[in-house]
Structure 1
Amino acid sequence: MQTQLPNLSVLNQDNSSLFEQAAAAPLSDGLKLPETLAQHPAFSRVFQAGKLTFGLIAPFKGYADSPFPELHDFAELAQAADNGGFAALWLRDVPFYDPAFGDTGQIYDPFVTAGYLTALTRRIAIGTAGIVTPLREPLHVAKAAASIDALSDGRFLLGMSSGDRPVEYPAFAQNFDNRAERFREAWDLIDTATRESFPRRGSEHYGNLSGNIDMLPKPQSVLPKIAIGRARQDLAWLANTPDAWIWHGVDPQQVGQIINTINELGDGQTWKPFGYANFVEVLDNPNEPAKLYNKIFLRGGAKGLVDYWQEQRAQGLVHLALNLKPTRRPAKEVLQELSETVLPQFA
């Protein structure tokens, strides 16, 4: 039976020419995180220099033959991931079922779900991967993110994206073609509203802050903001604006080159963590070697995956967001195997 995956055409644009000139080995020695991020409960759990951590993309299970996951065990799987040593739970922003795209994510709204998960779990980071900011009012995003940060004791990571499904934009009366510009504007408004008191910030596509009102709550220390995908931004923006970058459709041979490019375009002092997402099919035979298809669909046994991911860690990769949609095995069995066989090799 053929595994039903989302339409991968939007995920697999060839970006190889962007990184041809960079050296293969990562050149991040001497670069450091800002102290606020190095001490942040969620950020420091997910992004650790020299280590590789693992997150799970909701609904944390396989649903290979349908765009609609069965969610009766959603809470149980989130708690199993927390107890099993995973670094993060990632929530996608999929407002509609688009038959042409073929995947509904975790179905539930990401902010509502993030609040629910913070009450269910103890240590694991809760992140969005990512909020489609051109389809949302950025000040509402800021309010929701800061609220979850406060309620979770700093376990929230705000990942933001520009969106990749044109069919959704008319429903929100938004222009698909200018989403890159609106993404940057929304990012700046969210940053300003969550960082400054009685802020001043103008915008072309959204509202204006005039310094006469303040948004509460403010994050306990800092609100980590992560770029999810390219978001149609240039590499210099990715190197200097977000606190970390999580991509998809990455050629595994180019991980070191990507990291070098970002380091070279940065300020020369700040370490920019880089991770990526894959669809993963965990096979029954733990010794089955891992093989990558379409730069996004990875299949192999647990031990084969360990060997594959060890190579990625050696290139400087620090986080993997695993989407288990293609996996046909029972969800609890898969999470247990990953917790017992894979995670200890990277602890």
Structure 2
Amino acid sequence: MQSRVQNLLPAESGLTRQPAYARLFAPEKLTVGLILPLETHPDSPAPTMRDHVVMAQKAEELGFASLWMRDVPFFDPSYGDVGQIFDPMVYIAYLAAFTSRIALGTAGIVLPMREPLILAKQVASLDQLSHGRMVIGLSSGDRPAEYPLFEIDFETRGDRFRDAFGVYKTVIEKSFPHFDSPRFGRGWGTLDLVPKPAYGRTPAIAVGHAQQSLAWIAENMDGFIGSSPVLNQLPLFAKQWHTHVHELFGPEMFKPLCIGGFLDLVENPNEPLVRTRGGFRSGSKGLAQFLSDAQAAGVNHIALNPKISRRPYAELMDELASDVLPHFPSH
């Protein structure tokens, strides 16, 4: 099969020029981002969101690659977490007005509960208004209690994800598109979505498996964010992703692999990294070593959520900036 790309470029035109993608992703390199809120609150389901704009600007100044926003429509006490409180699409627009370089992403929009035509309009608008700093991470959601509010069967979320993504991708990338969905409408090529993304395309990354196979994600999406496996399985985790990409598109293809999780950054910088529920506990040097191993294995970005830590968030950012980011700079 003839290669569709050269020199490890993404599958479709536009992504290497899109500033968010270019800042975050490059072959054999790893960058570091933060999952919002930029505040520690280990004993409370909700952050205060004090000084959140100042903290976002600080993250950009220190050189973090990205800020990721979660999609939590309602507070479910059994989960005990509301993310960054604000709707991610609205919040991205707000932070875009106060920053200029840092990538702004979702981790991830619960696609089965979103109307894909409206989502496409929102994403393209945000990409234009932020001058190409938008990355759309998409998930299927993991909170069964939310689905009845939308009159959606939780068990159908995998099928709905594929259906919605097909409509979303068609209308945001094609001019006067044709599409026919059993759930989300039909287009006869007589109407066009405006605006289109600032650089032709906005990266669409799977956050978790979204009830899909890894092969489907590798074929249809621009990258994958997964939970980090136990440390000794990280090379296999990365190999599985890159093997799917190469088998589908050829060995020159590059689609980024990312991991995400909570971070409890302890004061002792030499404390080695250990895997915890949903993330890591480590000193800064132990974290840097883990990221070096992850980069060597083929991981291209990590999104960290230090909200579980009991140290001041600004202190954590400064320590990461001094001990970790110099080894893994944004592109």
TM-score of the superposed pair, with normalisation by structure 1: 0.88
Deviation at 1:125, TM superposition (A): 0.3
| Structure 2 residue 256 is matched with structure 1 residue 273 | yes
1:248–1:276 CA contact under 8 A, matched in 2:
yes
- Aligned residue for 2:193? 215
Within 5 Å, give how 1:1-347 maps onto structure 2: 31-34=8-11, 35-220=13-198, 221-265=200-244, 266-268=248-250, 269-294=252-277, 296-347=278-329
Q: Report the equivalent of 2:3.
A: none
The Cα shift of 1:251 comes to: 2.8
Q: 8 Å contact 2:239–2:298 — kept in the other structure?
A: no
Shift of 1:329: 0.8
Give the Å deviation of 1:78: 0.6
Q: Over aligned residues, Cα RMSD in angstroms? A: 1.5
Secondary structure of the residue that 2:307 maps to in structure 1? coil
- Unaligned regions of 5+ residues in structure 2, if any? 1-5
CA contact under 8 A between 1:195 and 1:218: conserved in structure 2?
yes
Identity fraction in percent: 44
The alignment covers a number of residue pairs equal to 318
- Letter matched to residue 254 of structure 2: W
Native 8 Å contact 2:30 2:300 kept in 1: yes
Unaligned runs of 5+ in 1: 1-28
Higher mean C-alpha displacement, 281-290 vs 109-118: 281-290
Amino acid at match of 1:330: P
Quick check: 125-134 or 253-262, which moved more?
A: 253-262
Measure the CA separation in 2 of the matches of 1:56 and 1:297. 13
What do the CA deviations read for 1:127-164 (whole angstroms, capped 9, x no partner)? 01111011111111100000000001100001110111
Match of 1:8 in 2: none
Counterpart-to-counterpart distance in 2, 1:249 and 1:279: 10
How big is the shift at 1:248?
1.5
Distance in 2 (CA, whole Å) between partners of 1:315 and 1:68 is: 35
Partner AA of 2:215 in structure 1: A
Q: Which amino acid aligns with 1:84?
A: L
Contact 2:102 2:133 in 1 (8 A): yes
The answer for the alignment partner of 1:25 in structure 2 is none
1:279 counterpart letter in structure 2: F
Mark the CA change 1:306 to 1:264 in structure 2 (over 3 Å): closer, same or farther.
Answer: closer
Shift of 1:30: 6.5
* Structure 2 Cα separation of the partners of residues 299 and 74 of structure 1: 24
CA–CA distance in structure 1, aligned partners of residues 75 and 302 of structure 2: 26
Give the secondary structure class of the aligned counterpart of 2:295: helix
Q: How far off is 1:342 after superposition?
A: 0.9
Q: Deviations over 1:26-66 (max 9, x none)?
A: xxx96432452222210111111111101100102221111
TM superposition outliers: structure 1 runs of 4+ over 4 Å: none
Q: TM-score, normalised by structure 2?
A: 0.93
Question: What SS does structure 2 have at the residue aligned with 1:37?
Answer: coil
